[in-house]
Copies of this chain bind each other. A is one copy, B any other.
Amino acid sequence: MNNFEFYCPTRIVFGKGSISKLPEFIDKSKKILVTYGGGSIKKNGVYDQVKKALEGYNYLEFGGIEPNPKYETLMQAVDIVKREGIDFLLSVGGGSTLDGTKFIAAASKYEGQKDAYDYFMKDQNPVTEALPLADVITLPATGSEMNNGAVISRISTNEKLAFQWEALYPSFSIIDPEVTYSLPEKQTINGIVDTFVHVMEQFCTYDVNSPLQDDWALAILRTLIKEAPKVLAKPDDYEARANIFWCATCGLNYWISLGVPQDWATHMIGHELTAFYGIDHGQSLAIVEPRLLRNQKVAKSKKLAKLAREVFCINEPVDLKAADIAIDKIEAFFNSIGMKTRLSDYDIDASEAASKIRDRFRERNTVLGEKGVINADTAYDIILAS
């Protein structure tokens, strides 16, 4: 096991009826900006529950944060925060709304000359101060509710970049699995794939003798595979929804990543597919992951073989053969829940996409993966095979 440091001060409030507990965790003296996305919270009852819980509070609203939240949109919220003297942000929505709210929290305290996207996302200057933020999370996917990271896009430059600082942890996150009953099936599926790939990025590297972390990672995969068909068959299956949501949170709250190497190449390549072609984050991961694993099969064979045996119960003693089976099984799982795994499924030309991403990675000298062996040319091969 490698050395590690861990710190996560986010309070999790999980379960049925949790939204009504909001007043326990926000001081009445705060002036709140409630942030949300495209308005689905107004259809599924979440907005009404939040409104009821915030009776007697002083708050404004900012809607319209997009999937893959855009810098251009978020800066409008920053203007409101500064103009109105907002001192608490409450994100109500999925991971995109929450990621966007993290950016608002950082940018609201930033007074420098450079624009905030370049300052924080491109130059990676530390966020030493941020507005306090919390969330009612409505989509099991990004794990943003229990981590300090966010991914922010910029329309004008086709960029999608991540940042991660301690000041960005939500002070609390309310998770009521009931709010996911009404999710469009596509979002449920995207979230399951996103969670699955988060776990893969942290588990599927090379062995550092970390049996507990490995077993915990595989436990999330086993649970996802078991519970996914249940939520698709019966969207209001509370138990299955609760298990899927807790998997999503634990898929990226760092618990499985402590002391182990991490990959994240699938995400980095996937982000480019989303930036260039606008496909969903989960869709991009489902396309890249099987091809990336096949490309890196030898380096990852020990972990892939473990996954084959302990998740898919495959009795294959030869690691490389077991690894092959694991990759096939992963793609088959994605397909089985209705997730497509080929660029051609979205009418994207693989050759063009591969070239675009290669050029961008060359320009940025991008090197990815747990051992830094995935460069622009490797990414080209992976996308071409997709």
Give CA–CA (A18, B3) in the complex, Å: 8
Residues of B within 8 A of A215 (CB): 215-216, 219, 222-223
With contacts A211-B222, A211-B243, A219-B216 taken as known, whether A14 is within 8 angstroms of B7 at the C-beta atoms is: no
Give CA–CA (A226, B212) in the complex, Å: 11
A15 beta carbon closer than 8 Å to chain B: yes
A13 beta carbon closer than 8 Å to chain B: yes
A209 beta carbon closer than 8 Å to chain B: yes
Number of chain A residues whose Cβ lies closer than 8 Å to a Cβ of chain B: 39
Residues of B within 8 A of A242 (CB): 1, 259
Q: Quick one: which of A268-306 are within 8 Å of B by CB?
A: none
Residues of B within 8 A of A243 (CB): 1, 209-212
Binary interface encoding of chain A residues 1-29 relative to chain B, with 1 for a CB under 8 A from any of its CBs, else 0: 11111111111111111100000000000
Closest B residue to A146 by beta carbon equals B6
Q: Are B16 and A12 in contact (CB under 8 A)?
A: no
Complex partner residue of A259 from B6, B15, B226, CB under 8 angstroms: B15
Q: Quick one: which of A16-44 are within 8 Å of B by CB?
A: 16-18
Q: Are B11 and A212 in contact (CB under 8 A)?
A: no
Complex partner residue of A5 from B5, B11, B222, CB under 8 angstroms: B11
Q: Tell me the number of copies of this protein.
A: 2
Binary interface encoding of chain A residues 190-224 relative to chain B, with 1 for a CB under 8 A from any of its CBs, else 0: 00000000000000000001111001100110110
Give CA–CA (A10, B5) in the complex, Å: 11
Residues of B within 8 A of A222 (CB): 211, 215
Give CA–CA (A122, B247) in the complex, Å: 38
Residues of B within 8 A of A319 (CB): none
Complex partner residue of A1 from B8, B12, B239, CB under 8 angstroms: B239
With contacts A211-B223, A212-B219, A216-B216 taken as known, whether A12 is within 8 angstroms of B3 at the C-beta atoms is: no
Q: Are A9 and B12 in contact (CB under 8 A)?
A: no
A246 beta carbon closer than 8 Å to chain B: yes
Q: Are A12 and B7 in contact (CB under 8 A)?
A: yes
Q: Are A209 and B239 in contact (CB under 8 A)?
A: yes
Complex partner residue of A212 from B1, B4, B247, B258, CB under 8 angstroms: B247
Closest B residue to A227 by beta carbon equals B211
Q: Are A14 and B4 in contact (CB under 8 A)?
A: yes
Residues of B within 8 A of A1 (CB): 15, 239, 242-243, 246
A255 beta carbon closer than 8 Å to chain B: yes
- Chain B: minimal CB distance from A175 (Å): 10
Closest B residue to A9 by beta carbon equals B9
- 24 A-B pairs (CB sep. < 8 Å): A1-B242, A1-B243, A1-B246, A3-B15, A4-B15, A5-B11, A5-B13, A7-B10, A7-B12, A8-B8, A14-B258, A211-B223, A211-B243, A212-B219, A212-B223, A212-B246, A212-B247, A215-B215, A215-B219, A215-B222, A216-B216, A216-B219, A219-B219, A246-B259
Q: Considering the complex of A and B, which 7 residue pairs feature the smallest CB-CB distances, nearest first?
A: A3-B15, A215-B219, A9-B9, A7-B11, A6-B12, A209-B239, A1-B242
Residues of A within 8 A of B (CB): 1-18, 209-212, 215-216, 219-220, 222-223, 226-227, 239, 242-243, 246-247, 250, 255, 258-259
Given A9-B9, A212-B220, A246-B259, 4 more pairs with CB closer than 8 A: A4-B12, A5-B11, A5-B13, A215-B223
